[in-house]
Amino acid sequence: YASGEIDQQEYQRIKTELEK
């Protein structure tokens, strides 16, 4: 379990949500 990778995926997902 790489929390760093998960954080990056979450960051990208949240960024996409904010750009909607």
Q: How far apart are CA 7 and CA 10, in angstroms?
A: 5
pLDDT at residue 2 above 90? no
In degrees rounded to 5, what are phi and psi of residue 5?
A: -65, -40
Residue 4: predicted pLDDT: 73
Q: How far apart are CA 17 and CA 11, in angstroms?
A: 10
Mean pLDDT on 12-17: 94
Q: What pTM value is reported for the model?
A: 0.31
Q: Provide the mean pLDDT of the chain.
A: 85
Six-digit token string for 5: 């990778």
In degrees rounded to 5, what are phi and psi of residue 13?
A: -65, -45
Mean pLDDT on 10-19: 94
Rg (CA), the chain: 9
Own/partner long-range contacts of 4-12 (Cβ < 8 Å, ≥24 apart): none
